[in-house]
Structure 1
Amino acid sequence: MSRQTLERFYTAFQQLDGKAMQACYAPTARFDDEAFSLQGAQEIGAMWRMLCEATQTQGREHWRLDFQIGADGCSAHWEAHYLFSATGRLVHNRIDATFSFDGQGRIASHRDRFDFWRWSRQALGLPGLLLGWSGGLRNKVRQQAAKNLARYRARRP
């Protein structure tokens, strides 16, 4: 069942369908990556909808997502190609994900890991190259991501 959930999740992501992605999460799910720490399907879903809408705004011609689900059905490797909305810079991000599931096969926890310095060099250019290794830039990105999500949720509850 977990493999089917991940197939649905990543296929929806390929199609930039944030609502379908949200439906894969348990109500009390937890999500963590380099930019976000979120609790609950509503908050996690809002993040995915925000990111999908930003990607659509930048143009689908710049979007590609490839994924492989691990043999254990609880992990995945995915690669996203997109324009970072804040700078318009091309990004190729490589992410390793781990998951746990509830009794109904919904995602209970989701952790994405990627090389923040590599991402920041692509997404932010020179500031990312010079400061992407530092905790200061990572904290600034996390703060900005939280503000963006709060604004998005205020406009689209």
Structure 2
Amino acid sequence: MGHSNAELIFRFYEAFQRQDIDAMLACYADDLVFCDPAFGELRGEAARDMWRMLVERARDFSLTFGDVGANGQTGSAKWVARYKFGPTGRTVVNRIEARFEFRDGLIARHRDSFDLWRWASQAFGLKGTLLGWTPFVQRAIRAQARKSLDGFRARRG
């Protein structure tokens, strides 16, 4: 079984490399739970809309991935996203560790971990470097991420 779960991870990231949102979302269970440091926890359609928004807004985007491993229940991968961060136009190289839980041949849980301070220092420059480690700024980053997702979802109806 584990072999096909590894293939599922490959399929997800290869679709992501092509920015093929439908192929990405086809890898997920309906009741997906996603979590990362920027958005916190998102479930189901909210998680799918986060990927729709990120793919739609991606500028100068490229992705590499590796260290894919999986067994019957869980899997992991490391991936690196390079893109221009819209609000500042600064280039971000985000190194991410992903963990997955599988159910019925689909991804049921997806948790991405990365250093939010390092992300902030790239996205916001000196201000991010000086303040990005503070809980206040990290909360503000999360609030802004959620706000942009809420706006995106409202426009989608």
Q: CA deviation at 1:85?
A: 1.2
TM-score by length of 2: 0.90
Q: Which residue of 2 aligns with 1:108?
A: 108
Alpha-carbon distance in 2 for matches of 1:34, 1:153: 20
Q: Which residue of 2 aligns with 1:68?
A: 66
* Equivalent residue letter for 2:81: A
Confirm whether residue 50 of structure 1 aligns to residue 50 of structure 2.
no
Q: Between the two proteins, what is the percent identity of the paired residues?
A: 48
Alpha-carbon distance in 1 for matches of 2:111, 2:7: 18
Q: Which residue of 2 aligns with 1:8?
A: 11
* Equivalent residue letter for 1:87: T
Alpha-carbon distance in 2 for matches of 1:12, 1:116: 25
Q: Which has the higher strand share?
A: 2
Q: Which residue of 2 aligns with 1:77?
A: 78
Q: CA deviation at 1:19?
A: 2.4
SS in 1 for 2:66: strand
Q: Which residue of 2 aligns with 1:88?
A: 89
**Is the CA contact (8 Å cut-off) linking 1:3 and 1:69 kept in structure 2?**
no
Show structure 2 runs of 5+ residues with no match: none
**Is the CA contact (8 Å cut-off) linking 1:32 and 1:111 kept in structure 2?**
yes
Name the CA shift for 1:69/1:44 in 2 (closer, same or farther; >3 Å). farther
TM-score by length of 1: 0.90
Alpha-carbon distance in 2 for matches of 1:130, 1:110: 30
- Indicate the RMSD between aligned Cα atoms, in angstroms: 1.2
Alpha-carbon distance in 1 for matches of 2:136, 2:112: 20
**Is the CA contact (8 Å cut-off) linking 2:38 and 2:116 kept in structure 1?**
no
Alpha-carbon distance in 2 for matches of 1:27, 1:72: 21
* Equivalent residue letter for 1:28: D
Please give the per-residue CA displacement for 1:97-151, whole angstroms capped at 9, x wherever unaligned: 000011x211111110111111110011122111111111111111111111111
Alpha-carbon distance in 1 for matches of 2:11, 2:51: 14
SS in 1 for 2:101: strand
Q: Which residue of 2 aligns with 1:132?
A: 132
